[in-house]
C-alpha cells in the first residue's frame, strides 16, 4: 500500500517542519474500479448500496499495521463493477485519500454480493 502525495506531504511537514497535522479519528476504506495513484484519484464505487466502511488498525510493529477486525461492506443492491483498487480515506464521504493499493486479485461485485476484508487481511507497511 502506497501513501498518497497528500499524506506524504502532511507527514514530512509534521516531522521536519514542526507543522501541525491532526490525523483523522476514524479512517475509512473505499473500493475503486480503476487505478487510484499517489494523486488520490480513481473511480470509487457509488450507488447500489455502497458506502465506505470504517476500519480500525492495531499498533504498528516493525513498520507495519493491519486491521483489527473484519470489515464487511453492505450487500450490493446492484452491480458495483469490478473492484481493482482500494484506498484508506479520512472521511466517510469526500475527504482526502491517505493510502492506496491495487488488489492482488480483482473482484466483480454483482447484486446480492458482499465484499469483506477479514481481520488481519488489510496490511499497511511503511518502508
**For 3, how many CA atoms within 13 A lie in the half-sphere containing its CB?**
12
Q: How many helices (H) and strands (E) does the chain have?
A: 1, 9
Helix (H, G, I), strand (E, B) or coil at 74: coil
Read off the pLDDT of each residue in 11-39 and give the average, rounded to a whole number: 96
Q: How far apart are CA 36 and CA 98, in angstroms?
A: 11
Q: What is the pLDDT of residues 90-101, one digit of tens each?
A: 999 999 999 999
Read off the pLDDT of each residue in 99-124 and give the average, rounded to a whole number: 96
Read off the pLDDT of each residue in 40-57 and give the average, rounded to a whole number: 97
Q: What is the pLDDT of residues 71-85, one digit of tens each?
A: 999 999 999 999 999
Q: What is the pTM of this model?
A: 0.94
Q: How far apart are CA 17 and CA 97, in angstroms?
A: 22
Amino acid at each position: 500500500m502506497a501513501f498518497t502525495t497528500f499524506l506524504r506531504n502532511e507527514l514530512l511537514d509534521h516531522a521536519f517542519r514542526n507543522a501541525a497535522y491532526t490525523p483523522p479519528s476514524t479512517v475509512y476504506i473505499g473500493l475503486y474500479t480503476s487505478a487510484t495513484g499517489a494523486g488520490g484519484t480513481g473511480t470509487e464505487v457509488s450507488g447500489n448500496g455502497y458506502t465506505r466502511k470504517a476500519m480500525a488498525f492495531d499498533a504498528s510493529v516493525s513498520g507495519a499495521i493491519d486491521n483489527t477486525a473484519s470489515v464487511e461492506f453492505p450487500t450490493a443492491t446492484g452491480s458495483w463493477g469490478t473492484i481493482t483498487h482500494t484506498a484508506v480515506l479520512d472521511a466517510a464521504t469526500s475527504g482526502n485519500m491517505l493510502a492506496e493499493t491495487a488488489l492482488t486479485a480483482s473482484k466483480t461485485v454483482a447484486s446480492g454480493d458482499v465484499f469483506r476484508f477479514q481481520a488481519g487481511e488489510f496490511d499497511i507497511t511503511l518502508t
